[in-house]
Amino acid sequence: MNTSNPYEDDDAAGLERFYTLALQAALIQTEEASARAYEAMEEVQALLVTHDHERFGDVLETLPYSFFDLYVADMIEEIDVNPLLYLIDHQSILGLLTDEHYAYVKHQLKEKGADAPAAYDFICGIELFMQSSPELALPYFTKIDNELGQYFSGMCYYHLKDYEHAKRLLQALFESLLSLQEDFEEFQTHETYGYLLYDLSHYSLGANVLLEDYKEAERMAQLILQEFSLKEMTALAKRNNTDAEDLTDFEVFVNNYTTALVKLRKYKEAKALLEESMRLSPEASLIQRRLQNSADQLDRQLFADSILAPILHKEKAYGLKEFLKGKRFAGAEKLEDLIEQQIDAGMPVFGKRLAVYQDEYGYGKHYAVPHVTGLIDLVLMDTAADLLYAVVLKPNSSGVAVYDQIKRYTQGLEQRTAKPVRGIICLHQPKEALIAKVKDDESIELFSYQVAFKKLG
């Protein structure tokens, strides 16, 4: 499969048409404008999620709720009627949503839960799965009797280290999708369909090696290489890896395939794989170590048990790569609770001595302001300076849309109180555009947070 993706003229025109209509929908905030933008998005959706996802994510932040009403309607229909289409085309969007839009989608699905049980079970399951609770997510996914439920049930079993069940579900789904691809021409050139096959075969490869079924692991690796060459996998790994400290999918693949080949005593094939992989990705430290450790051994045809690297795992399921792992809270509620606990303990927060604000309209948590969309996460009061802070919390990253959000909140709050009002944005990873925007506004402060455990002594 070719992953270089030089845009065709029609593709480029389709992308720009969507972005133009999305801008209009963000500006005029009508259902009609949202419908036009959504229709344009559907025409180029595969390109948006595979090749233009950063810009696409930034644009999604600006769109009104009426746009996401259409996404919810499609989500319900496709999960119930055509789950395969949702899995290969629409699910990736879920990982690009801001916390505010994700909460809105979740709320809409809960509202419609009685009429759309599969969609409701999916959103409940995916939230628990992304909170690293696969044991709690699994019962929701097992109730979804289609490819979507099969895929995420397999993911849960894999993360629970039940590799036998994971292999059975994921490999069966892989074989089924591979058969569909052979029968239907549109799937042979459908890029995200190819990525789904790539993902499933990766997990199946890892499960087979862990279960010591090396012959089957070799077969799965060869099936991956029928869809993607080593060169294409290298390009994908460089594009998708967001953390320089993470092993890429390419390194994981080479490690696990090498393990299977050496266990099968196919030393020449293992050495050739490592040498070609090293040529394509000379900076891959894991491949360097495998090649160095195995050179003498492969030449002497010795057994490899003593120096085999541990089996490695892909960290993220298909279409969810925008969810950052580690050092972040799963939801804003946990961050709110931590801030409240620090205030109750008399600790400074955001470098200030603050208290949770309360007035006749309510307590300063999830505080509502008339004629302003959304709830303010926290309203805090600096009693010494006699001013209020509207606080927006984001557990992961965000762009300039959160700046517009905090300005709505501070302006709305100013209409309700005679006290001066300032804004605080706190999130895990601010985007550069947001940092630049806040620097020009003295009324808004920007904070990032980290959650880490450090060994002392």
pLDDT of amino acid 324: 33
Alpha-carbon distance of 288 to 291, in angstroms, equals 5
- Which residues make beta-bridge pairs with 358? 363
Contact of 191 with 318, CB cutoff 8 Å: no
Alpha-carbon distance of 321 to 87, in angstroms, equals 14
**DSSP-derived 3-state class of residue 85:** helix
pLDDT of amino acid 9: 62
Buried b (16+ CB within 10 A) or exposed e, 260-284: bbbbeebbebbbebbeebbebbeeb
Alpha-carbon distance of 195 to 436, in angstroms, equals 35
User: Could you give the angle at the alpha carbon of 299 between the alpha carbons of 298 and 304, nearest 5°?
Assistant: 25
Residue with tokens 């804003």: 332
Alpha-carbon distance of 41 to 59, in angstroms, equals 11
Contacts 24+ apart (CB under 8 A), 39-48: 40/14, 43/14, 43/17, 43/18, 44/11, 44/14, 44/15, 44/18, 45/89, 45/90, 45/93, 46/89, 46/190, 46/191, 46/192, 47/5, 47/7, 47/11, 47/14, 47/15, 48/15, 48/18
Task: Give pLDDT tens digits along the chain (457 positions).
Answer: 444 444 456 678 888 899 999 999 999 999 999 999 999 988 887 777 667 778 888 899 999 999 999 988 888 877 777 676 666 555 667 777 888 888 888 888 777 766 778 888 887 888 788 778 889 989 999 988 888 888 889 999 998 989 999 999 988 888 887 777 776 666 666 666 777 777 788 888 889 988 999 999 999 898 888 878 888 888 777 765 544 446 777 888 888 898 888 888 888 888 888 888 888 888 776 776 666 665 555 555 544 444 444 455 554 444 443 333 333 344 456 677 778 878 877 788 888 889 999 887 778 888 888 777 677 889 999 988 889 999 998 766 667 778 888 998 999 899 888 899 999 998 877 888 889 889 989 999 998 876 544 445 4
Q: List CB contacts of 36: < 8 A, sequence separation 6 or more.
A: 21, 24, 25
Q: List the helix and strand counts (H, then E) for the chain.
A: 22, 8
220 CB-side CA count, 13 A: 31
Considering only CA atoms, which of 142, 151, 149 is closest in space to residue 195? 151
Contact of 96 with 60, CB cutoff 8 Å: yes
Contact of 234 with 280, CB cutoff 8 Å: yes
Contact of 265 with 297, CB cutoff 8 Å: no
**DSSP-derived 3-state class of residue 278:** helix
Q: List CB contacts of 166: < 8 A, sequence separation 6 or more.
A: 154, 155, 157, 158, 203, 207
**DSSP-derived 3-state class of residue 130:** helix
- Which residues make beta-bridge pairs with 446? 425
Which H or E element spans position 33?
Answer: helix 31-43
Amino acid at 344: D
Amino acid at 304: A
pLDDT of amino acid 421: 95
